[in-house]
Chain A
């Protein structure tokens, strides 16, 4: 991480976890959102810079058909969410990427759209993948209603009463996005073109801003539909109930390969989180305010774990681990932990490693960061990566150096038999219908000949075999000239030299792979909560639950 030499906490280095410990899916798949998650980074910046929010356009009929514009004005630039509401028959409602119609469609516009812009967007945004946007747009997205809750809320509000709190808690959102496209998709501006803007330099800030304003839109829409239906009888949603709502999200395999295709970016995300943990562990003392904030965060995490529900067997087990682990942690903190002792946070972390299941250990990581914004929040500036810099291969690197890097960073992948079913049961490919990544069963399905190069473990092993017998001082360029098939792997191996957390250290084509572990890792960095797998390949989550709205951002968050 480029920020490392400038770290004001050099003593933190000896508290860092190693890539071998961190980069396994058995831990990455249990990641929890932290205060360095992307949506938290966005909210802090907007609060600290006193962003101003307006809603210059809001025109909907009783069915929720119409359009709206929400503007977020920062110190230098304004971004606008343009929202279109549609009348979608229930049989057309699907969260899958094959859908062609949605309850609502959105884009994030760079600036404030004029009438011509709105006309252009009206003709394209509702079409989503079948339309085109331009470099004036930063994201393209759509959402479907949670049918039962949406109608329940509109009905209750229209009759002058509040909706059932338990019903709201059970679902947690009025709409769920089924895709939020960013960087360059369907003609939109690339992330690189806006990355120099301070407010857009951290990852996925345009996408997070879109979703946050979509959340405000969903509440405005139910209140507006209730007014259409109930007239003067209608009431607005209670602020506490409103705050408890997030935006749901359905996510499938499409986002899993991202973590593999962006190694230096993944490194920086992980390194930032690990550096933050190490800084907290390195503290010699714990302040009273920090201890109190930690206890409050622990209590909130227990509340969240209590209402976090899933029917997926694996997730049920993990939720059980989380709940019992947090109870064990609560007891230890109340009865045994000594916050006045030397290095108390490190003592707590080491105790957790010895006594808590992985699921609760990773939750403890998030809890330890929570009271320490003063020493970790600056790390958000290190979340981005200049990926172009890591692209060029150093052809002069010797075979011996490449072998050393392989031994240091890919020992987990070497010496295995990738011809047997266990270690190559799956293959990643691109689907013909939606050009989305998919995972096939190699021994049961056709398409293995079009496999994507996500078989990192197998490629590392093949490279190691290819290097055997070559002269130690031979430049790697000679192997690449003879066998260009090794170029992707040599590039990755060389990347690990500067980015040790760049590689998921598990076989991504094995029969044991759980793609949802990759999804949870990425979604936790987004700041997602309520991770709820619907299979081993797609999940539902919630974003921005219990976070402020544009009209309550100032002075909120406690962070």
Chain B
């Protein structure tokens, strides 16, 4: 169970739009292509809204290894090493109803870095296929996703890498807790500062010319 519960001091409470914007800008600052940055912003806000830790896994994802190239294939994806959860997530959603996707029989993804970032995209896949899925790591279920609910069974946010297989399932295990939308919990100032530093890399310093064009010349004392 990964609900944020500990008391956080020295922290900042971000709104969901701020979470989304920070994650998008940080991903761009870390060098991800715009296409994945939009999905990164969406995924971070999606996790935050459900009380799932998003900031540390995001920081790991943006500063750690990028992951191997993803080669989707029916039943079992191929790669030359652990794959990035963001890339795997959007690929999973894009291929949801195609033979390479989870479809009606499931798919094995292999080793996935920061697998919590798979979760939002698996919900897209579940909505497209109308199928509920169970995520399995080393034979143990850790995730249940359907178009109507979500249950996370262990500290998936702390999981830096996991063997991930997705299997169709019929019902949510009663021991799992459905996560409903809630206000995002605060994140530590340190994590915020590191993500913000990444985000600043996609900005451009103002010049005198740009300030003048934006209206800096002249008095506003009308």
Cβ–Cβ < 8 Å partners of B206 in chain A: 431-433, 438
Query: What's the least CB distance linking B29 to chain A, in Å?
Result: 9
| A113 within 8 Å of B (CB atoms) | no
| A551 within 8 Å of B (CB atoms) | no
Question: Among residues 152 to 193 in chain B, which have CB atoms less than 8 Å away from a CB atom of chain A?
Answer: 183
The answer on a CB contact under 8 Å between A395 and B94 is yes
The answer on a CB contact under 8 Å between B97 and A396 is yes
The answer on a CB contact under 8 Å between A430 and B215 is no
Interface size class of B (residues with CB under 8 A): 35 or more
| B95 within 8 Å of A (CB atoms) | yes
User: What are the 4 closest A-B residue pairs judged by CB atoms, nearest first?
Assistant: A487-B35, A395-B94, A184-B17, A447-B204
Cβ–Cβ < 8 Å partners of B214 in chain A: 96, 252-253, 438, 537-538
A453-B34, A484-B33 are known contacts. Are A445 and B207 too (CB-CB below 8 A)?
Answer: yes
User: Which of A95, A192, A477 gathers the greatest number of chain B CB atoms within 10 Å?
Assistant: A477
The answer on a CB contact under 8 Å between B216 and A146 is no
| B205 within 8 Å of A (CB atoms) | yes
Question: Among residues 530 to 550 in chain A, which have CB atoms less than 8 Å away from a CB atom of chain B?
Answer: 534-535, 537-538
- Interface bits B197-222 vs A (CB < 8 Å: 1, else 0): 00010111111011101111010111
- Interface bits A387-399 vs B (CB < 8 Å: 1, else 0): 0000111111000
User: In the complex, A184 Cα to B15 Cα: how many Å?
Assistant: 5
The answer on a CB contact under 8 Å between A440 and B204 is yes
Query: What's the least CB distance linking B24 to chain A, in Å?
Result: 11
The answer on a CB contact under 8 Å between A481 and B203 is no
Interface size on A, residues (CB 8 A): 63
User: In the complex, A189 Cα to B13 Cα: how many Å?
Assistant: 11
Query: What's the least CB distance linking A299 to chain B, in Å?
Result: 29
The answer on a CB contact under 8 Å between A94 and B220 is yes
Partner of A184, one of B16, B39, B98, B211: B16
User: Which of B25, B94, B98, B183 gathers the greatest number of chain A CB atoms within 10 Å?
Assistant: B94
Partner of A485, one of B33, B39, B128, B222: B33
User: In the complex, A132 Cα to B189 Cα: how many Å?
Assistant: 14
User: Which of B42, B90, B209, B222 gathers the greatest number of chain A CB atoms within 10 Å?
Assistant: B222
| A327 within 8 Å of B (CB atoms) | no
The answer on a CB contact under 8 Å between A432 and B222 is no
- Interface bits A65-97 vs B (CB < 8 Å: 1, else 0): 000000000000000000000000010011110
The answer on a CB contact under 8 Å between B34 and A485 is yes
* Interface SS of B by simple majority: helix
Partner of B42, one of A147, A183, A184, A391: A391
The answer on a CB contact under 8 Å between A95 and B202 is no
A147-B222, A253-B214, A484-B36 are known contacts. Are A192 and B16 too (CB-CB below 8 A)?
Answer: yes
| A185 within 8 Å of B (CB atoms) | yes
Which chain A residues have a beta carbon within 8 Å of chain B's beta carbons? 90, 93-96, 98, 132, 134-135, 144, 146-148, 171, 183-185, 187-190, 192-193, 250, 252-253, 391-396, 429-433, 435, 438-441, 444-447, 450, 453, 475-477, 480-481, 484-488, 491, 534-535, 537-538
Query: What's the least CB distance linking B145 to chain A, in Å?
Result: 14
A429-B204, A440-B204 are known contacts. Are A183 and B17 too (CB-CB below 8 A)?
Answer: yes
Partner of A144, one of B15, B42, B220: B220
Question: Among residues 15 to 74 in chain B, which have CB atoms less than 8 Å away from a CB atom of chain A?
Answer: 15-18, 25, 33-36, 38-39, 42, 70, 72
User: In the complex, A192 Cα to B209 Cα: how many Å?
Assistant: 37
A187-B15, A477-B98, A487-B38 are known contacts. Are A393 and B204 too (CB-CB below 8 A)?
Answer: no
Q: Nearest chain-B residue to A441 (Cβ)?
A: B209
Q: Nearest chain-A residue to B15 (Cβ)?
A: A184
The answer on a CB contact under 8 Å between B34 and A96 is no
The answer on a CB contact under 8 Å between B93 and A187 is no
User: In the complex, A267 Cα to B91 Cα: how many Å?
Assistant: 28
Cβ–Cβ < 8 Å partners of B1 in chain A: none
